[in-house]
Structure 1
């Protein structure tokens, strides 16, 4: 049977554990390899069992990883239970000629390149891997309780990074606004006319940005205020207890399809004067009825890692990270 491959459809696959901004950056770059107007990106996500067999236990379960990937602004469709070793037959099913992956090598349980076959077939495209962030690095910080201070050169995102992650679903057009401290300090212009009266605001630290947070953002945007733009204020009460840097948290939140603007280190006094309804992440009204928000928290995620501490230490050591 002849398979008609569509140049406007592309495949990416992975574990997407934590689904951090490194994953989001790869998804965004993959979306940019196809047409702005007609392109579609299919994100294949592996099962817990496949990940366990090939690299050890994931921190987030399959349902959490499927839904988090689905919430990414540039993902057109999630393909659940995609094989760990990329299978061209699965790509064919969705009419994707190419699979996209970062410029690092992913090995299966036998030490073989997961993309060996598609590379040999000329159906593999490489994008730049995001430096400095990985699931391994995040687990390392949880295990060592080491966090980067705000004085670190990579603690805050730069304008280029903010602009890159602020784009719309087509991966090119402007969408999200980014502000520093208050609405008078614009770092990135968005793709719409900004009016605070057309917005709703929520703040929190969004550390280990997860489906519990995303559930609440979706409820705000889709259920409670479907006619409003959603502004997210990202705070840091104590960097010593915050695992992710401001850069990692901001870029992760920007990649969420429910977000229209971000304020870095919001000034509470200034925001109090704004004429919009305000919420705090984790409040009862946002968590109520949430599929994930009623149980999934940062503390639970940390406990999952700590409960298998020896396993994760051994996995990280195999990748050159000692605790």
Structure 2
């Protein structure tokens, strides 16, 4: 007991007063060379400090938890990149999904339901926890909840302004508390822009799949003339940032699924999750813009190839993608990628335009006995989302007009951010 008390005194001295205690021990060790000074006092040896005292007092660094919120309506690669940047500022990322009521009050009607938006956010590889029905503005009560219950260290938002209807900053309290951090907005895309693209297509095309040039209440243009053409400039660095960076093991069971994956939605997330559960590695083929247009008609795809590729690559269930995958799967392709199983969902867009007949794109894997039809967990397609917007186009035109002005102001005043 006496020796244990001495050891405890030594440990506490080292931990709380390392410099002072170190000087005392060094002095004692030097003086202790003469046994006449220290009689029966035992001065601990150096190896004792390393093997006993330090390990018992060494504490692991507490993980930093960061919070980011958003509407996440019409999820796109800009949302994904924002959350990727937010995660890089901490160890764990908690995401708040704003309630439908708050979106209506501050921005206008959402396109997707809370359940659909939750599925999209939860499906991103950088998200650790999701809070449903979060407020649009960081109130004092909600900030206390984040700090106390969710143990949040920092609240994150992009460098574009987020203003309430009265013109005040939605993150003013977080900034005042010194617990706010900012990330760079992803250039070239926004939910407003995507809604604008959809509104630019004809109502007849969205609802019936026809290819005439009629417009929604005469307010749209043809796709070629649309002012909502994507401004996204893809880079190899962005693809690397989104990628898992891993290859399949030699004996991995590789599952392949393909599609357009346009307007990435909850149905896509759920079918990709189901496909991933069938193997060790999920390879996703994404059709080129030309292929999608040939098989689905004018106005498709709404998002171009690189935008769709990043949205799919951001999904936590996806290991690798083929950018510009062929429509028909060949034996050579199966051999090249060592594909074990090819799957396809039961819910999908119409495969071809009316009056067009073509060979089965899955004929080869079917003949090899490696094809499986998966029952889609959700009855959701890109056209269903587009139809929601077309059916309520007046409200979305009004919403977009307001948002477009704020986005023009942002781009006019934006400054380059060095690190992203």
Normalised by the length of structure 1, the TM-score is 0.81
| Post-superposition CA distance 1:141-160 (Å, at most 9, x none) | 000026589xx996773311
Please report how far the alpha carbon of residue 214 of structure 1 lies from its aligned counterpart in structure 2 after TM superposition.
1.1
Partner of 1:279: 343
Partner of 1:160: 237
> How far apart are the structure 2 equivalents of 1:193 and 1:258?
14
- 383, 386, 391: which one pairs with 1:299? 383
| Post-superposition CA distance 1:138-181 (Å, at most 9, x none) | 000000026589xx996773311100111xxxxxxxx2xxxxxx
Q: 1:47·1:62 contact (CA, 8 Å) conserved in 2? A: yes
- 92, 100, 108: which one pairs with 1:48? 100
Partner of 1:172: none
Match of 2:64, SS state, is: strand
Change (3 A) 1:90 1:282: farther
Please report how far the alpha carbon of residue 135 of structure 1 lies from its aligned counterpart in structure 2 after TM superposition.
0.5
Find out whether 1:70 has 2:128 as its counterpart. Answer: no
| Post-superposition CA distance 1:173-200 (Å, at most 9, x none) | xx2xxxxxxxxxxxxxx22445485201
Q: 1:155·1:245 contact (CA, 8 Å) conserved in 2? A: no
Q: 1:147·1:243 contact (CA, 8 Å) conserved in 2? A: no
Gapped runs of 5+ residues in structure 2?
1-61, 202-221, 294-298, 349-372, 406-420
Aligned-pair Cα RMSD in Å: 2.3
Match of 1:23, SS state, is: helix
Q: 1:235·1:264 contact (CA, 8 Å) conserved in 2? A: yes
> How far apart are the structure 2 equivalents of 1:219 and 1:286?
8
- 248, 257, 264: which one pairs with 1:202? 257
Q: 2:119·2:269 contact (CA, 8 Å) conserved in 1? A: no
Partner of 1:88: 143
- Determine which structure has the larger strand proportion and give its number: 1
Q: 2:256·2:283 contact (CA, 8 Å) conserved in 1? A: yes
Change (3 A) 1:124 1:304: same
Partner of 2:286: 234
Aligned length: 281
Find out whether 1:246 has 2:305 as its counterpart. Answer: yes
Greater RCO, CA 8 A, separation 6+: 1
Q: Which has the larger radius of gyration?
A: 2
Greater mean alpha carbon deviation, residues 124-133 or residues 104-113: 104-113
Alignment of 1:36-185 (within 5 A): 39-86=91-138, 87-92=142-147, 93-145=149-201, 157-166=234-243, 175=244
Please report how far the alpha carbon of residue 76 of structure 1 lies from its aligned counterpart in structure 2 after TM superposition.
0.2
Change (3 A) 1:148 1:75: farther
Alignment of 1:214-229 (within 5 A): 214-222=269-277, 225=278, 227-229=279-281
Please report how far the alpha carbon of residue 250 of structure 1 lies from its aligned counterpart in structure 2 after TM superposition.
0.7
Change (3 A) 1:282 1:107: farther
Normalised by the length of structure 2, the TM-score is 0.63
Change (3 A) 1:154 1:137: closer
> How far apart are the structure 1 equivalents of 2:317 and 2:324?
20
Partner of 2:6: none
| Post-superposition CA distance 1:224-260 (Å, at most 9, x none) | x1x4200000003234410001111111111111001
Partner of 1:179: none
- Determine which structure has the larger helix proportion and give its number: 2
> How far apart are the structure 2 equivalents of 1:153 and 1:138?
9
Change (3 A) 1:25 1:138: same
> How far apart are the structure 2 equivalents of 1:33 and 1:54?
28
